[in-house]
Amino acid sequence: MKFEEEIKRRRTFAIISHPDAGKTTLTEKLLLYGGAINVAGAVKSNKIKKQPLPILWKLNVKEGYLWLLR
């Protein structure tokens, strides 16, 4: 399989880093620019009312990690 075909085939990736490195912010921006959400809010902020994720996305928060399952 060619490299380009392999890239098109893959649909999963992981964001792994130490605490407070910006993983949630990066994930939120990827979802925003990918069209999955319409508004990105500030992490740990109650001032911005976020739109809930589409029904297709299921959030599973476990041990401080955010997993987006489709």
pLDDT in tens, the chain (70 residues): 788 888 788 777 788 898 888 888 888 888 888 877 777 775 555 555 655 555 445 555 555 555 565 5
The span from the CA of 35 to the CA of 48, in Å, is 19
* Domain boundaries, given as residue ranges, for the chain: 3-69
The span from the CA of 29 to the CA of 23, in Å, is 10
Name the pTM for this structure: 0.47
40, 27 Cβ separation under 8 angstroms: no
pLDDT value of position 56: 45
The span from the CA of 3 to the CA of 29, in Å, is 27
The span from the CA of 1 to the CA of 26, in Å, is 30
